[in-house]
Amino acid sequence: MTETASEGRSMATVATLAGVAVALVLSGGALIVSAGGSASDAEVAAAGAAASAVDAPAEAQVELGDMFVEPAQIEIAPGGTLEVTNEGAAIHDLAVEGTDVATPMLDPGESASLELGDLEPGTYTVICTVAGHQAAGMEATLVVAGGDQDEAEATAANGVSDDPEATTTEFATFDPNAEAPEGFEARDPRLPAAEDQDVHEITIRASQVEDEVAPGVTQELWTFDDAVPGPTLRGQVGDIFRITLINDGDMGHSIDFHSSKVDPATEMRTIQPGEELVYEFEAKHAGVWMYHCGSDPVLHHTGNGQYGMMIVDPPDLEDVDHEYAFVQSEFYLGPEGEPGDYDKMLEGTPDIVAFNGYANGYVHDPITDVEPGERVRVWLLNAGPSEASAFHIIGTIFDTVYKEGDYRLHPDVTNEGGAQALDLKASQGGFVEFTFDTDGFYPFVSHEFVNVPKGALGAFLVGDVDDDASH
């Protein structure tokens, strides 16, 4: 028996789903002896195949869940039928990998018959084709009985080549020295003040878009409002946020606000394409909060771009001359124009670490509106999904540090201390305040230096300084 741990049915609950791997024992073939002596190897193999085909069922039941296929091994007679039922909370299908044999997409609770009449005897892999679901565990072995193929023949029948060049995935690659397209503009990091209202009615649309994450590198991103990160939201303690989520994508999506205290099964439930829900909560605590898609597999949805920042101002927040909002996050590159690679996400090996969704975006388009002596506040969320952040600006010192709902450093007459970095684990947030004393070029990085060559680099051009200094 094997156990499959699911991250929860659409983040509604966290449950452990036990899946039973059914051991199917093929019948042994009878030894056929001719009048003239022992049977040949071919005769024995043919007899075994025939017996196996007779013993295999013509119909088998298959259950799809979040994220599993049961049973893990399915035996069927040639020309048989799989009766497939989606018992999960998300849309799933079942397809024979390397063939055109597949069910339609099945809503939760729906069933379909999968006719296998065109499949030759042999061993196949059946999968859910929704992006990320196979990698998350939705695959099983299908044995069409009655075959006498060896392993190489069965592999070929399943549409897989033994040629390493034929099976190598061509992943997109990031060149940290590449120039941005002409006219490139980084995401505007300037943060408006919180709106003077008690109720914030906001519509957010879940979608899938192709967009650039670095010069010449395009991925299919799963987004909120067609952007990575999603929109930055801001309010005060006690404000009501009434969020209408609309799913414009072609798979199930959801939204999880870390700033809310609600029933996840209701507000954070997965909605299917074309559906919408209203998610309402009171912002009861100040802080820099993450929101993200919580649909299975959560790692794939967040790793592929579905996250954003919500700021709930601490009481008595002082005025400053400039406020900026940065979200640090990672990209795990899949093939050009396709979603990020789930295996890389599981391994924790990002190709890109970026501020506001584009590698080296503020190197290609530095921040230029600050003068020496002006007071600056930078709000930072580390959306991860896995890397740590150590936000540092070369050439200045933070005199104020706020992290995870509390001040770690605040200037007063008895405290002359300073800070060099804001350290944040995945999903944590905070802000720093500082000034630049002189004109100059001031790079900012994650001081997790392994991530600087991956794109975790930007710059402030302060006062009278040549823009060429950043290149």
Identify the structural domains of the chain with CATH numbers, from first to last.
2-167 (2.60.40.420), 199-470 (2.60.40.420)
| Residue 345 DSSP SS3 | helix
For 311-362, write each residue's pLDDT tens digit.
Answer: 999 999 999 999 999 999 999 999 999 999 999 999 999 999 999 999 999 9
For 199-233, write each residue's pLDDT tens digit.
Answer: 999 999 999 999 999 999 999 999 999 999 999 99
pLDDT at 53: 55
- Of the candidates 307, 13, 11, 304, the one whose C-alpha atom is nearest the C-alpha of residue 131 is 304
Structural Rg of the chain based on CA atoms: 28
| Three-state SS annotation for 231-296 | CCEEEECCCEEEEEEEECCCCCECCEECCCCCCHHHHCCCECCCCEEEEEEECCCCEEEEEECCCC
pLDDT at 22: 26
Tokens of 260: 């809310």
pLDDT at 306: 98
**Which residues does the chain have with pLDDT short of 70?**
1-54, 147-167, 413-414, 467-471
pLDDT at 52: 55
pLDDT at 387: 97
pLDDT at 54: 60
**Residue 89 contacts residue 108 (beta carbons within 8 Å):** yes
Whole-model pTM? 0.78
**Residue 398 contacts residue 433 (beta carbons within 8 Å):** yes
Q: How do beta strands 199-214 and 217-224 pair?
A: antiparallel
- Of the candidates 270, 17, 273, the one whose C-alpha atom is nearest the C-alpha of residue 137 is 17
State phi, psi for 44 to the nearest 5 degrees. Answer: -65, -45
| Residue 301 DSSP SS3 | helix
Residues in Cβ contact with 362 at an 8 Å cutoff, skipping those fewer than 6 apart: 186, 189, 355, 356, 444, 457, 458, 459
Helix (H) or strand (E) holding 83: strand 81-86
